[in-house]
Structure 1
Amino acid sequence: MSREELNRQAFKEEALELLGELETSLLELEEDPANDEVINRVFRAMHTIKGSGAMFGFEDIASFTHEVETVFDLARNGQILVSKELLDLTLLARDHILSMLEGEEQGLGARAGEVIRGLKALTPSRTQTEPDPAVKTATPTCATDSSMNTWRIRFAPPKNLFMSGTNPASLLEELCEMGEHHVIMHTKDIPALPQLNPEDCLVWWDIILTTASSEDDIRDVFIFVEEDSDLTIQMVGSCQGIDEESYKLIGQILVEKNDITKDALERILLERKPIGQLLSEAGLVSASQVEAALVEQQEVKRLRQTAGAEPQASSIRVPAQKLDFLVDLVGELVTAQARLTQFASEQNDARLQAISEEIERLSDELRDNTLGIRMLPIGSTFSRFKRLVRDLSQELGKRIVLETHGEDTELDKTVIERLNDPLVHLLRNSIDHGIESPEERLAKGKNPEGRIELSAEHSGGEVLIRIIDDGAGIDPERIRAKAVEKGIIAPDSLISDKDALMLIFAPGFSTAEKVTSVSGRGVGMDVVKRNIDALRGRISLESVPGQGTTISVRIPLTLAIIDGLQVQVENSYFIMPLSAVEECVELIRKDKDRADLINLRGQMVPYVSLRAGFEIPGQTPEIEQVVVCNSQGRRVGIVVDRVIGEHQTVIKSLGKVYQDVRGISGATIKGDGSMALILDIAALVA
């Protein structure tokens, strides 16, 4: 891939992140239209997309974004107010930029024209907002704008700047648009003409800029060249804090800019007597007083230097494929380490066992750190749902507020990606079927504005996600009637209310009276359950008619490596997820006449036999083991011949031939190279 293609790809990745932040900021702005900080955040995102897009050849994106940026520039200057119409148009503009970025649309198109016309309609006329260009306006000063600051900027690009297609002149022009400026170009590095290479950038610049813009605004101009350039940005004057210390001598300024060394300056200054020495010789102050003043000066300087030396966090962008490959390698390492541990235990060699234990410790740390790299906060997914709720509630004529909690809860990257579609279906179902119209809610004595709560929290080795609404709830009798009508259950079936509610996840089930663009086709909820099952997760539903519904989804933290409990039945080995295991007890053959129940400290716990369930031939031992597991809130025992112990399990997916076998979710390789099947406890009990 060429350098130009790499730069364009880097811009696309950066722009996608900016568009995500832009959408979140616009939704925040809808709740608080007067928030200047969020308005500036929106403007900066647009400004960065525009500048970088023009730099890397996305001219259509740059010109379209410029139109939106202009309107938000007026908003942040207080010339127009942020309205619902402006936010609607900006969200449409964000969607259009995303389409152009992904190549779905070429050029501006009809949608862009509609957005631009709408934005111009919201913009005051030129005579109201723009001065006559023939009339010279006064330069802003501290008397007219207290937010003005003077910045010293040194921009020294690398020699190979032109090879990336970057034009430094356009960067300087964009910088100069921010305010009063003085640009000094340094040409001392340009050699004689015979030695000159026209493809090298051999000049650098000092810029003195007086502006109301922040340091982040200035740094955004250089966002795609900062990493390779020598860029320094320093505030040298401020309307907020003008004092005598702000005025510096020429020598101080040259030293600060590294144009001369401090030693060189001191050699020149030594030809003159210091002010302290002059005052002491004149008898105005003593030598000790001069020394005290010097110590105070140095200490204040040291504190100021310490305050400005705070470490900055840094991050790098890594392709997802490299992380996936790293996890695969760690999985192979864990398998090899298990083989080493088993071999070391069979040998009577203390040194080999010590090495095995050290390798095991290191592989455990490597596994935890590698999986930690793949862990992402689920908040990035939650923020996208705010837009979904906003648009869908407007389409259905409902007033709905989405509240989110636990955005910092971390999940494996792969799990988050595969969880997105099920959560979208569940939210759409709550919006369409759950929350009533404002008129219906008022008639029931409710707040006309419905509420949906989306939360996430860690629960053992899983993440618990809840979707709670205060809508109409679900009537189990209606569900039963619809299930009988569609032939899902027999008319004389006796099922509990809890089981009746779970019928909404049956294929083809729908209670909608008519098909709409949102729901009613009987497709969606069964797909949700199938996708959750594929993630080795569980879904449950609780509802109170007239008050609301709670949908709970439990998902494992990762799909790559888990801690398991290894058990044996005859010559077959199985792995149970350790997060589902509560305890292990013995089952004596004479106790088996109790209708598959075991008395566990006064509580009757049902159990199922793994040997009978998988029809494994052989002689049942006199004393079996019962592994008590927690399955969807219920305690259930799994009967096995022998419990071997904990086993760090690298999950391998099964082939298509075995993917529909109930009770099995995957396989793993044991230390001796043989295979063990991973049990799906919930499916096995069901």
Structure 2
Amino acid sequence: MMELDPTEIFRQEAAELLDSLETVLLDLGQTPQDRDLIDAAFRALHTIKGSGAMFGFDRVAAFTHDFETAFDLIRKGRIDANRDIVTVSLSAKDYIRTLIEDPDSTDPIIGEAIVEELHRLIGVSDGAVGKATAIEAAPETAAAASGWRIEIAFEPGILRNGTNPLALLDDLRALGTCRVEAVLDDVPELDALDPASCLITWTVALEAPCTVDEIEDVFMFVRDEMKLVIAPLGADEPVAELIPEPVAEQSAPPARVVTAPTEAAAPAEKPVAEKVEIARRSDDKTSSVRVQAERLDELMDRVGELVIAQARLSQIANSSHDLAIKAIAEEIERLASGLRDTTMGVRMVPMGSLFSRFRRLVHDLSRDLGKPVDFVTVGEDTEMDKTMIERLADPLVHLIRNAIDHGIESADRRGQTAKSATGRIELAARYVGAQVLVTVQDDGAGLDTARIRAKAEENGLIQPGANLSEHEIHQFLFHPGFSTAKTISALSGRGVGMDVVKRTIEAMRGTIDLTTIPGHGSSVTLRLPLTLAIIDGLLIRVGEGRYIIPLSAVEECIELTAADEARAKGRSFLNVRGELVPFLRLRELFDADGEADPHQKVIVTSIGDTRVGLVVDQIIGSHQTVIKSLSKLHSDVTMFSGATILGDGSAALIMDVAQLVTLGQTRAESDRAPEAA
């Protein structure tokens, strides 16, 4: 089995720490006095520095040291956190990431400039940051004493997490003279002992002029897995006590509890057996394994091949009279369906992992453009295939940049229209059937329809005075090279953007809708399938060819009777329960050979808010569809999004309903043009 490079393991863990650090810093910018956030930032920096030095990333350790010390000063009350410190810390986080991922490309001058800015903000001269921690004004409860009595009780499952309690006791000895006594009251008889559980507690007499903060720092990374009581030597009451939250509710590091002498004694500890059971349940709940993305892709490919083989087996079983073969085929179909769902579930990633990336983008753009913006996310728990998540990142970046640059007005202009000086951008995701709707909405000025029309006329896209609806005018925003920006800047004006967004979304078999209310903002909605690997489809026949329609786009199937044909009178409209639904004859669209089936069927599909019927010769049935990409030679065939292999080994094309309807409308307009002439 191939072993991972230790430095690669460090890079992976450091990337997670840096992502977590960015989230903490952005939250800290909103609530600078939040002690838990300050502690979390310090712990992340401390871990990156220590691990970096351990794995030979000396530049990372040296650069991170100053920021770790600065946040140590913040958490000890020496200096206050503010937005400027958060901003320079975010720049430092980016520099640390570059030092880890590509150290040869980093310029030391950039790192020195970041550190100098930090020194200026915290009021410490260069080279003196490390000494500043020695000059502390500690609170009364953390004041130094000649000695301390410390009671230590770890959670039973702490050994399973790789923590060595004896190493922590050695760290305490480094503070001064220690006398350690092990308490074995909770240790059961040998035959009932679980060697993986830590049931020993310790009482430590520490003779050293240190503070409570220095003692707590020894246990910084296990605070939520232990009980720690600290009292001066000879005193009956503790001055500080750390008690973890219950396992079921624990979500943040425990806070220090300062206990007055008049307070009641703490409740008795839970029985040892109950402690062990809680630890085991906690370990089971949070256990996970890191898997390379390539292996998940390979697993999905194998499952896809299995689904194709299962379809072939089912077809053979249906043509056989052997009941045993039919039973086996049904069992294999059930297992393959379950394996497909499980594999797709493994590949599903919460949208929150994508949404969190944009907080930094909004923060930086808000600062650069001088527009205060609140960024709100909704539906972070909505899940999509990881491949979809990766492809969706760039389109959303452009939509959010557009919303801030073009949509949100300046604070002065918002004040003139009685709006709040702070703009609002909402990024939301929700399920609608087998699709996910991702919406970017702002409360800005909305689209300037007159300006878009004038730019379209200037570019020769429409004739002056042409009669177009607002929706049709807004669609010019998706035309290549179209931009209404007055000047070219780092953010806009080059006409590259919305057309790329539309092509990317359509390549994902999705659609994009744009709505606006002048003076109140705009909304862009992306309609996307859950996955690009395996879908449920409807197998149909048109002429001699067989095709797949994604089941998520199908609303209902009805028969096209002779009476319906007579009522339509060549206008291609169908009356479905009092509603007129236009339909396309796929035989005509595909130029199919042979006579049409006497009992044709209409498949009513939905594209956004539009319903369109597709007339086919036969509906064969549902089909688990493994999507295979078309070759580059077929890149201009837009009405099909891919192909699949049927049970008999033949191929069937997968229809892109949105593109199919667009092509049908184009042909209908071209057919009407000669008649009008």
Q: TM-score per shorter chain, which class?
A: 0.7 to 0.9
Q: 2:311 aligns with which of 338, 359, 367?
A: 338
**Cα gap change, 1:78 to 1:510, in 2 (>3 Å):** same
Aligned match of 1:617: 593
Q: CA deviation at 1:475?
A: 2.5
Q: Distance in 2 between matches of 1:620 and 1:664?
A: 22
Q: Distance in 2 between matches of 1:90 and 1:147?
A: 37
Aligned match of 2:264: none
Letter matched to residue 632 of structure 1: G
Q: Aligned pair 1:115/2:91, yes or no?
A: no
**Cα gap change, 1:684 to 1:12, in 2 (>3 Å):** same
TM alignment of 1:106-505, pairs within 5 A = 109-124=108-123, 129-131=132-134, 150=152, 175=171, 182=178, 212=213, 218=219, 220=221, 235=227, 237-238=229-230, 300=271, 302-303=273-274, 306-307=277-278, 309-312=280-283, 313-505=286-478
Q: CA deviation at 1:636?
A: 0.4
Aligned match of 1:631: 607
Aligned match of 1:73: 72
Q: Is the 8 A contact 1:149 1:212 kept in 2?
A: no
Q: CA deviation at 1:309?
A: 4.9
Q: Is the 8 A contact 1:61 1:100 kept in 2?
A: yes
User: What secondary structure, in the 3-state scheme, does the structure 1 residue paired with 2:301 have?
Assistant: helix
User: What secondary structure, in the 3-state scheme, does the structure 1 residue paired with 2:81 have?
Assistant: coil
Q: Aligned pair 1:607/2:578, yes or no?
A: no
User: What secondary structure, in the 3-state scheme, does the structure 2 residue paired with 1:511 have?
Assistant: coil
Q: Distance in 2 between matches of 1:426 and 1:111?
A: 30
Max radius of gyration: which structure?
A: 1
Q: CA RMSD in A?
A: 3.9
**Cα gap change, 1:147 to 1:630, in 2 (>3 Å):** farther
Q: Distance in 1 between matches of 2:154 and 2:486?
A: 68
Q: CA deviation at 1:662?
A: 2.1
**Cα gap change, 1:120 to 1:177, in 2 (>3 Å):** farther
Q: Distance in 1 between matches of 2:329 and 2:151?
A: 62
Q: Distance in 1 between matches of 2:439 and 2:150?
A: 48
Q: Which runs of 5+ in 1 are unaligned?
A: 162-167, 185-205, 223-231, 247-296
Q: CA deviation at 1:213?
A: 7.7
Q: CA deviation at 1:406?
A: 0.8
Deviations, residues 504-533 of structure 1 (Å, cap 9, x unaligned): 011111111111110011111100000000
Q: Is the 8 A contact 1:48 1:221 kept in 2?
A: no
Q: Distance in 1 between matches of 2:88 and 2:447?
A: 37
Q: Is the 8 A contact 2:24 2:37 kept in 1?
A: yes
Aligned match of 2:496: 523
Aligned match of 1:648: 624
Q: CA deviation at 1:245?
A: 14
Aligned match of 2:535: 562
Q: Is the 8 A contact 1:142 1:239 kept in 2?
A: no
Q: Distance in 1 between matches of 2:270 and 2:32?
A: 46
Report the count of equivalent residues. 594
Q: Is the 8 A contact 1:50 1:61 kept in 2?
A: yes
**Cα gap change, 1:7 to 1:176, in 2 (>3 Å):** farther
Deviations, residues 630-656 of structure 1 (Å, cap 9, x unaligned): 012111000100001110000000000
Aligned match of 1:666: 642
Larger CA deviation: 122-131 vs 611-620:
122-131
Deviations, residues 268-303 of structure 1 (Å, cap 9, x unaligned): xxxxxxxxxxxxxxxxxxxxxxxxxxxxx9995555
Deviations, residues 216-274 of structure 1 (Å, cap 9, x unaligned): 9748599xxxxxxxxx986574559x99999xxxxxxxxxxxxxxxxxxxxxxxxxxxx
Q: CA deviation at 1:493?
A: 3.3
Q: Aligned pair 1:53/2:26, yes or no?
A: no
**Cα gap change, 1:307 to 1:670, in 2 (>3 Å):** closer
Letter matched to residue 645 of structure 2: I
Q: Is the 8 A contact 1:152 1:209 kept in 2?
A: no
Q: CA deviation at 1:444?
A: 1.6
Q: Is the 8 A contact 1:152 1:208 kept in 2?
A: no
Deviations, residues 412-441 of structure 1 (Å, cap 9, x unaligned): 100000000000011111111101111111
Deviations, residues 601-639 of structure 1 (Å, cap 9, x unaligned): 111110001111121222112221100000121110001
User: What secondary structure, in the 3-state scheme, does the structure 1 residue paired with 2:632 have?
Assistant: coil
Q: CA deviation at 1:88?
A: 1.0
Aligned match of 2:26: 27
Q: CA deviation at 1:477?
A: 2.7
Q: Distance in 2 between matches of 1:544 and 1:428?
A: 19
Q: Distance in 2 between matches of 1:36 and 1:542?
A: 42
Letter matched to residue 505 of structure 2: I
Letter matched to residue 366 of structure 2: S
Q: Is the 8 A contact 1:25 1:38 kept in 2?
A: yes
**Cα gap change, 1:11 to 1:643, in 2 (>3 Å):** same
Q: Is the 8 A contact 2:171 2:218 kept in 1?
A: no
Q: Is the 8 A contact 1:566 1:645 kept in 2?
A: yes
Aligned match of 2:667: none
User: What secondary structure, in the 3-state scheme, does the structure 1 residue paired with 2:305 have?
Assistant: helix
Letter matched to residue 422 of structure 2: E
User: What secondary structure, in the 3-state scheme, does the structure 2 residue paired with 1:371 have?
Assistant: helix
**Cα gap change, 1:139 to 1:149, in 2 (>3 Å):** farther
Q: Distance in 2 between matches of 1:510 and 1:153?
A: 61
Q: Distance in 2 between matches of 1:675 and 1:181?
A: 79
Q: CA deviation at 1:6?
A: 1.2
Q: Is the 8 A contact 1:567 1:644 kept in 2?
A: yes
Q: Is the 8 A contact 2:584 2:615 kept in 1?
A: yes
User: What secondary structure, in the 3-state scheme, does the structure 1 residue paired with 2:295 have?
Assistant: helix
Q: CA deviation at 1:673?
A: 0.6
**Cα gap change, 1:183 to 1:571, in 2 (>3 Å):** farther
Q: Is the 8 A contact 1:176 1:209 kept in 2?
A: no
Q: Distance in 1 between matches of 2:74 and 2:147?
A: 17
**Cα gap change, 1:243 to 1:374, in 2 (>3 Å):** farther
Q: Distance in 1 between matches of 2:294 and 2:515?
A: 39
Q: Distance in 2 between matches of 1:244 and 1:404?
A: 50
Q: CA deviation at 1:588?
A: 2.6
**Cα gap change, 1:307 to 1:173, in 2 (>3 Å):** closer
Larger CA deviation: 301-310 vs 38-47:
301-310
Letter matched to residue 409 of structure 1: T
Q: Distance in 2 between matches of 1:384 and 1:120?
A: 28
Aligned match of 2:254: none
Q: CA deviation at 1:132?
A: 7.4
Q: Distance in 2 between matches of 1:145 and 1:631?
A: 74
**Cα gap change, 1:305 to 1:335, in 2 (>3 Å):** closer
Letter matched to residue 626 of structure 2: V
Larger CA deviation: 583-592 vs 423-432:
583-592
- What TM-score, normalized to structure 2? 0.80
Letter matched to residue 612 of structure 1: E
Aligned match of 2:61: 62
Q: Is the 8 A contact 2:550 2:655 kept in 1?
A: yes
Deviations, residues 443-465 of structure 1 (Å, cap 9, x unaligned): 12211111111111111111101
Q: Is the 8 A contact 2:585 2:615 kept in 1?
A: yes
Letter matched to residue 75 of structure 2: R
User: What secondary structure, in the 3-state scheme, does the structure 1 residue paired with 2:361 have?
Assistant: helix
Q: Distance in 2 between matches of 1:146 and 1:616?
A: 90
- What TM-score, normalized to structure 1? 0.79
Letter matched to residue 35 of structure 2: D
